[in-house]
Amino acid sequence: MRVVHVSDCFAPRTGGIETQVGDLARHQAAAGHEVHVLTATLGEGGERAGVVDVEDGVHVHRLGARLPFDLPVNPVAGPRLLRDAFAAVRPDAVHVHAGVLSPFAFDGARLAVTAGLPTAVTWHCMLDGVAAPAAHLVARTRWSQPRAALSAVSSAAAERVRELFGGVDVAVVPNGIDADRWAPTPDGGDGGEGGGPLRLVATMRLAPRKRAVPLVEVVGAAARRLPPGALHLMVVGDGPLRDPLTARVRALGLDDVVELRGRLPRDEVRAAYADADVFLAPARLEAFGIAALEARTAGLVVLAHRGTGVAEFVTDGRDGFLVADDAEMAEAVVLLAQDRSLLRRMRAHTRAVRPAFAWDDVLAAAEAEYARAAVLARGASGS
């Protein structure tokens, strides 16, 4: 099968969509498919305007333009380059990966559907605050009866897409991980039996949507209710809020509690999880939570907000706690710091029971969407 992925963002940019599109494409290529990625992200050397490289068996078409701030868009030539790529590759399926604002991906979806190509669109975001008002606009366009197979990366995200498109069928194509790579280490998971601090970790881009500053405020609120030395938080990641986050840690007097590690390679993140007890996911608009899934697979207890994609793999009270707000998250941190027997029981469960979302599951879900997209395309051509 010839599969074309369309994504505004791709490596060398880093982030959730970029990582998942790259991993999905590589796994499909390894399974014997011919896989292409059409992206508006420039290559490491500035490759753009149609340059094609083969990376790990995947044909990466760099269709972006040189713009300020390296924005992954090409408003002038992008549509032409997309049409040319579709005509040259002649894909059996086009898989579009969308966020809230994805002009390049949306152009790809529009052009693929217009060309009669089987098209699947997966949302990697939460459409809170967008779905309801935008639904009135969608109802006035031909997308009121989409000719593409629509999906999202979690049930929570799919609910918003369903609202946007007036209740049409929206499937779930989850994110995937290499479960063996993230499996618990044999020497981890003492649950604080040694009497040390509760070891907290969070991995995120330091950007407003991920709520890094509220995270340290949560930990600060918990620390004020516990003896000195009861907590240690490691924050893994970098981004535009690094300096404000550092300043907030200092202002709250948490220099001895919070450790800012910056961005780390995956192997070092894995090592950090081996030395931790609890993963904190403070974002309220988390469509899936790949870092939380990796931490849960590594045997950590996960604290996250209700109504997010983390609920796909965390059951409240068993794998962790799903909280209503930041105050409840601080309460959960205090509880686990004080009740080490509860922490040990929860960690024993997370270490023993591996969550789903291995790549075989994800590949099967994607192929089911391609089959559904083919049926919709045939129906449209016959109408």
Q: Work out the average pLDDT over 88-110.
A: 93
In a domain, 47, yes or no: yes
User: Looking at the structure, do residues 146 and 256 belong to the same domain, yes or no?
Assistant: no
In a domain, 142, yes or no: yes
Give the range among 73-87, 209-223, 281-295, 348-362 with minimum mean pLDDT.
73-87
User: Looking at the structure, do residues 157 and 236 belong to the same domain, yes or no?
Assistant: no
In a domain, 156, yes or no: yes
Q: Which residues have C-beta within 8 Å of that of residue 180, sequence separation ≥ 6?
A: none
User: Looking at the structure, do residues 172 and 219 belong to the same domain, yes or no?
Assistant: no
Domain with 72 in it:
2-176+358-382
pLDDT of residue 188: 59
User: Looking at the structure, do residues 24 and 111 belong to the same domain, yes or no?
Assistant: yes
User: Looking at the structure, do residues 171 and 229 belong to the same domain, yes or no?
Assistant: no
Plot region of 317 (φ>0 → left; ψ -120 to 50 → alpha; else → beta): left
Assign 234 to helix, strand or coil. Answer: strand
pLDDT of residue 298: 94
User: Looking at the structure, do residues 332 and 210 belong to the same domain, yes or no?
Assistant: yes
User: Looking at the structure, do residues 374 and 229 belong to the same domain, yes or no?
Assistant: no
Is the pLDDT reported for residue 191 higher than 70? no
DSSP H stretches of helix in the chain: 16-30, 78-89, 103-114, 131-138, 155-164, 212-223, 242-251, 266-274, 290-297, 326-338, 340-352, 359-382
In a domain, 185, yes or no: no
Pairing of strands 2-7, 93-98: parallel
In a domain, 320, yes or no: yes
pLDDT of residue 190: 55
User: Looking at the structure, do residues 24 and 96 belong to the same domain, yes or no?
Assistant: yes
pLDDT of residue 141: 73
In a domain, 188, yes or no: no
User: Considering just the CA atoms, what is the radius of gyration of the chain in Å?
Assistant: 22
User: Looking at the structure, do residues 252 and 308 belong to the same domain, yes or no?
Assistant: yes
Number of domains the chain is built from: 2
Q: What is the pLDDT of residues 150-177, one digit of tens each?
A: 999 999 999 999 998 888 899 999 999 8
Q: Where does the pLDDT of residue 383 fall: very low under 50, low under 70, confident under 90, or very high at 90 and above?
A: low
User: Looking at the structure, do residues 335 and 364 belong to the same domain, yes or no?
Assistant: no
Q: What is the pLDDT of residues 194-242, one digit of tens each?
A: 578 999 999 998 989 899 999 999 999 999 999 999 999 999 999 899 9
CATH number at residue 280: 3.40.50.2000
User: Looking at the structure, do residues 348 and 366 belong to the same domain, yes or no?
Assistant: no
25 and 34 Cβ atoms separated by less than 8 Å: no
pLDDT of residue 66: 77
pLDDT of residue 17: 85
* CA 150 to each of CA 128, 162, 337: distance values in angstroms, whole numbers, following the listed order: 17, 9, 43
Q: Where does the pLDDT of residue 14 fall: very low under 50, low under 70, confident under 90, or very high at 90 and above?
A: confident
In a domain, 121, yes or no: yes
pLDDT of residue 19: 87
User: Looking at the structure, do residues 78 and 219 belong to the same domain, yes or no?
Assistant: no
In a domain, 8, yes or no: yes
Distance between CA 85 and CA 42 in Å, rounded?
16
